[in-house]
Structure 1
Amino acid sequence: MSINVKDLFNNLHIQLDEVDSTNNYAMRLIDDDKAQNGQIVSARLQLKGRGQRSKEWIAAKDKSIAMSILVEPNLPLSKMIAFNKAVAVAILQAIHSFYPSLQCAIKWPNDIICGDKKAGGVLIENVIRGQQWAYSVIGIGINIFQEGPFIDLPHAGSLLHEGSNPNDIHELMIELYAGILKQITTFNEEEITHFYHTFLYKKAQLQQFKSEELIWEARIDGVDENGNLILTKTDGSMLCLKHGEAEWFWDTP
């Protein structure tokens, strides 16, 4: 870990006791012209955390990472999907570096899976001004220590494992920050795509989906440049699934 990255993190880190949402707080900084490139907002407790499709993400105080990173991407808008993949790859690489024994994966599009349970996720919100990609707010929620059962969330989990300690939250945040800055700065699309597919949950396996009250099965082949999930159905036909078109059908826990 570069000491310069750690210093940068500490200098740009806004640490809150509690907040509605770290993404909301970061967006307010942008609206008030107080945002800085590379700034971090974190909270010990997030009261109204959001995941994909506006789903609520709730975790107990001091048991999880709730952080948002503000970046000026310096990329064309056409690279937005690749940027999202780069962030997901950086997060998985950071977790694997920090907890080498954990088996974690990316569930399309940006959920963090550990032991077949959702341990976290990413919500990226972009600020576009004219044709310029002004800011990305990278919201990261990862459950570190909170133990189940999780009421009404049977598929939720955590990174909790033997040897974890309270300092892990701060140290893992720095690891995540360093990894994300590296990925979006170097931005090697071929490498990003390779690692995204390496980490992709259930790749080359059959998975059930639910749409319009029907449950159907398909093999997960990958994710294309538009962010669509590439599937092969049981009849051999190909399908590109857009986010929100079907629901992931979990096995009964």
Structure 2
Amino acid sequence: MSNMKQEILKLLKNDRFISGQEMADRLGVSRTAVWKNMNALKREGYRIESVTSKGYHLTGHPRYISPTSLEMLVAQSELFSHVQYLPTIGSTQIEAMQKLEHHDGAYMVVAEEQTNGRGRFNREWASPKNRGLYLSLVLRPNIPISEIIRFNLFISLAISKSIDQAFRIESGIKWPNDIYIDKRKVSGFLTEVVSESGVINAIICGIGINIFEDEDIMDLPNATSIEREMDVNVDMDLDDFMEKLIRNIEHYYHRFLNEPFSAIREEWKSRAIVFNKELRITETGESYMAKALDIDDEGFLEVLDRTGEIRKVISADIEL
């Protein structure tokens, strides 16, 4: 049997009252064991109502990512084989890198807090405890290193769609690695690779999402959070969000391995927030103003600079 807390949580998520005796009978354990694991779930933040003669009923979800629910989702995953959940870590990205030799297949590292979180161009990513999702994915695609540009486009769709589906928010993608809501950044991801002879052995994709309001994050001029942007009538169910995020990552990663970017190009463009705007583009030490026109089938951004020259942008820092 898998972790008993996971089995009890599955029963509670059936959205009905269930007695301690029925749970004990179905799981083949004592009522005392059920009671102990029920209390452990309450300590994780689950709100569980107990009514005499009716039993237990799940009435609320934790205010942060639940390790029990996350382990349950990974156990059901066709892609991920392992998850490491940490209260605090310097960087999930570094931790994921260090585990490469010890774990085969795809896995993830999740932390409640990062003390040295970082984004693209080695910029600091504020990661206060239980305020956001700090996650690194390890994937092993065995593809040419040139395909990493395409990977970023597929994974950005997975993140943006998950936010919209779980929280009923309309998010947009800022090429190549940021998710915005109403002109403010809510998420970014950092993609690093381990390769040999031009072939990727592993992708390490670090994802940061600002979920709750926090002074350190809100003081940044272009930052926002899910909590700030979502309607007050929408339930903040992070179990549901993690399920949607993992499923969307699985879906778009499978498509990435089997389809060209052209298969999702129009869907991606419908979420893009960079087109027909004046952008400041910085690449290889050069900074210039340009207007984004299109994105080609290889994932390169086509822009028109102020001299009238059309350029293809492969890797750059873009300011709206």
TM range (shorter): 0.7 to 0.9
1:209 to 276, 280, 284: 280
- Secondary structure at the aligned position of 1:50 is classed as coil
Q: Is the 8 A contact 2:90 2:116 kept in 1?
A: yes
Richer in helix (by share):
2
Structure 2 match to 1:66: 134
Say whether 1:129 aligns with 2:129: no
Measured against aligned partners, the alpha-carbon deviations of 1:10-47 in whole angstroms (never above 9, x if no partner) come to: 962211001111111000001xx212322111000011
Q: Which of 86, 109, 125 does residue 16 from structure 1 map onto?
A: 86
How far off is 1:103 after superposition?
A: 2.0
Higher RCO (CA < 8 A, seq sep 6+): 1
CA distance in 2 between counterparts of 1:229 and 1:235 reads 17
| Larger-Rg structure | 2
The residue correspondences of 1:183-198 to structure 2 (distance < 5 A) are 183-187=252-256, 188-189=259-260, 190-198=262-270
Counterpart among 205, 215, 222 of residue 155 in structure 1:
222
- Counterparts of 1:7 and 1:214 in 2: how far apart (Å)? 46
**Cα distance in 1, alignment partners of residues 293 and 176 from structure 2:** 14
Distance 1:129 1:198, change over 3 A: same
Aligned pair partner of 1:56 in 124, 130, 133: 124
Verify the 8 A CA contact 1:81 1:225 in the aligned structure 2. no
2:106 is paired with a residue of what secondary structure? Answer: coil
Change (3 A) 1:174 1:38: farther
Q: Which has the higher strand share?
A: 1
Whether the 8 Å CA contact 2:174–2:273 is kept in 1: the answer is yes
Q: Match of 2:303?
A: 231
In the superposition, relative to structure 1, how do residues 109 and 213 fare at CA in structure 2: closer, same or farther (>3 Å)?
Answer: closer
Give the superposition deviation at 1:138.
1.3
Residue 175 and residue 36 in structure 1: after superposition, are their counterparts in 2 closer, same or farther (change >3 A)? farther
Task: State how far apart, in whole Å, the 2-side matches of 1:240 and 1:131 are.
Answer: 22
- Aligned equivalent of 1:171: 240
In 2, Cα distance between the equivalents of 1:222 and 1:200?
10
Q: Is the 8 A contact 2:218 2:224 kept in 1?
A: no
Kept in 2: contact 1:82–1:192 (CA 8 A): no
Counterpart of 2:152 in structure 1: which amino acid?
N
Q: 2:272: which partner in 1? A: 200
Q: Distance in 1 between matches of 2:242 and 2:126?
A: 18
Q: Which amino acid aligns with 2:279?
A: Q
Residue identity over aligned pairs, in percent, reads 25
Is 1:26 aligned with 2:134?
no
CA distance in structure 2 between the partners assigned to 1:71 and 1:43 by the alignment = 18
Quote the Cα distance in structure 1 between the aligned partners of 2:207 and 2:273: 18
In the alignment, which residue of structure 2 is the partner of 1:46? 114
* TM-score, normalising length: structure 2: 0.66
Greater shift, 49-58 or 187-196, is seen at 187-196
Aligned to 1:77: 145
Q: What is the total number of aligned residue pairs between the two structures?
A: 239
> Structure 1 stretches (4+) deviating beyond 6 angstroms?
212-215
